[in-house]
Amino acid sequence: MQLASATTESLTSRYARDGFVVLEGVLDRPEIDGLLAEAVAICRGERGPIEGAQAAGVRPDDTDDEVLRRFLCVHYPHKLSQLMRDTISHPAIVDPLTQVIGPNVKAMQSMLFIKSEGRPGQAWHQDEGFIPTRDRSLTAAWIALDDATTENGCLWVVPGSHRPGVLYPDREHDDPRYDCTVESYGFPWSEEDAVPVEIAAGSVLLFNGYLLHKSLPNSGRHGCRRALVGHYMSAESLLPWAAPEPGVGMARADFRDIVLVSGRDPYGWKGTDEVRRPRVRPDRAGGCDR
């Protein structure tokens, strides 16, 4: 599949049709290098504690390369690093988000993927299945910190799979290519319908929460496939992502561990909470927990 260029078709039209769009050259080389250095500092524990990081066994005399290879994914790096927090609020990312979501946008999650050689990918899934928004506004911004290629484990997507607005069921699997033990199934597309999204470092892949996507292992002979990912939605919608308070029905639950990145928060009177802590995702985790 060949995507139309920005000069022949608008971003919003491409996003509505395909469920994703590539923003080229969002970050320049100094910005990328700063984030790569910050990733090392996070994995060394220099930015604060990370649940599960002890199992990685980082040693003070490890080289930066050795440190990175001990990690697959760190959840909520924006809670550890002001640079990561600033990046998920980058104007060149937020402006397109407002075009596909609306003027008021909040972020509820970030993830720092490392994925060195031999590390697994993720099976077919839809982000909305893990982050249940009420209004279908969930959008991911996948920021490439290295060139993402088919060799090192770029994302694969099924164009247009978001359009039915259907969440497909999950089932357990034992495929060693993937770090999560569940995969989506029962959808009316085959592997032949999937396309790889190879993008250069500094580019961003925006995609819809209903879009089917996966990644394969890093089969390259050297090097990491690093990416910073943010998840966003309309600030005008509640987010029933966490258990409600006693006596409050699930329909009224509203996850408030958020960062407002654009516009105003109509529910700002509730304040915000610190619910989630930075943590490591181990290989073969019990599901693609978001």
Please report, as a single letter, which amino acid is at residue 249: G
Q: What is the 3-state secondary structure (H, E, C) of the chain?
A: CCCCCCCCCCHHHHHHHHCEEEECCCCCHHHHHHHHHHHHHHHCCCCCCCECHHHHCCCCCCCHHHHHCCCCEEECHHHCCHHHHHHHCCHHHHHHHHHHCCCCEEEEEEEEECCCCCCCEEEEECHHHCCCCCCCCCEEEEEECCCECCCCCCEEECCCCCCCCCCCCEEECCCCCECECEEECCCCCCHHHCEEECECCCCEEEEECCCCEEECCCCCCCCCCCEEEEEEEECCCCCCCCCCCCCCCHHHCCCCCCEEEECCCCCHHHCCCCCCCCEEECCCECCCCC
Cα separation of 208 and 165, whole Å? 10
Minimum mean pLDDT range among 116-120, 199-203, 273-277: 116-120
Higher pLDDT, 218 or 155: 155
> Residue 271: what pLDDT?
95
> Residue 282: what pLDDT?
66
> Residue 251: what pLDDT?
44
Higher pLDDT, 1 or 146: 146
Minimum mean pLDDT range among 120-134, 168-182, 266-280: 168-182
**Which residues are CB-contacts of 10 (< 8 A; sequence separation ≥ 6)?**
none
> Residue 8: what pLDDT?
55
List alpha helices for 194-287, DSSP H.
none
Question: Percentage of residues in the chain with pLDDT exceeding 90?
Answer: 73
**What's the chain's Rg over C-alpha atoms?**
18
* Mean pLDDT across 110-137: 92
Cα separation of 178 and 185, whole Å? 15
- Flag whether pLDDT at 209 surpasses 60: yes
Helix (H) or strand (E) holding 272: none
Tens-digit pLDDT profile for residues 31-88: 999 999 999 999 999 999 999 988 888 899 999 999 998 898 999 999 999 999 999 9
> Residue 280: what pLDDT?
92
Question: Percentage of residues in the chain with pLDDT exceeding 70?
Answer: 90
Distance of CA 81 to the CA centre of its chain: 17
Tens-digit pLDDT profile for residues 227-272: 999 999 999 999 999 765 555 544 458 999 999 999 999 999 999 9
pTM of structure: 0.91
**To which CATH superfamily is domain 20-281 assigned?**
q2cbj1_9rhob like domain (2.60.120.620)
Residues paired with residue 140 on neighbouring β-strands, in sequence order: 207, 231
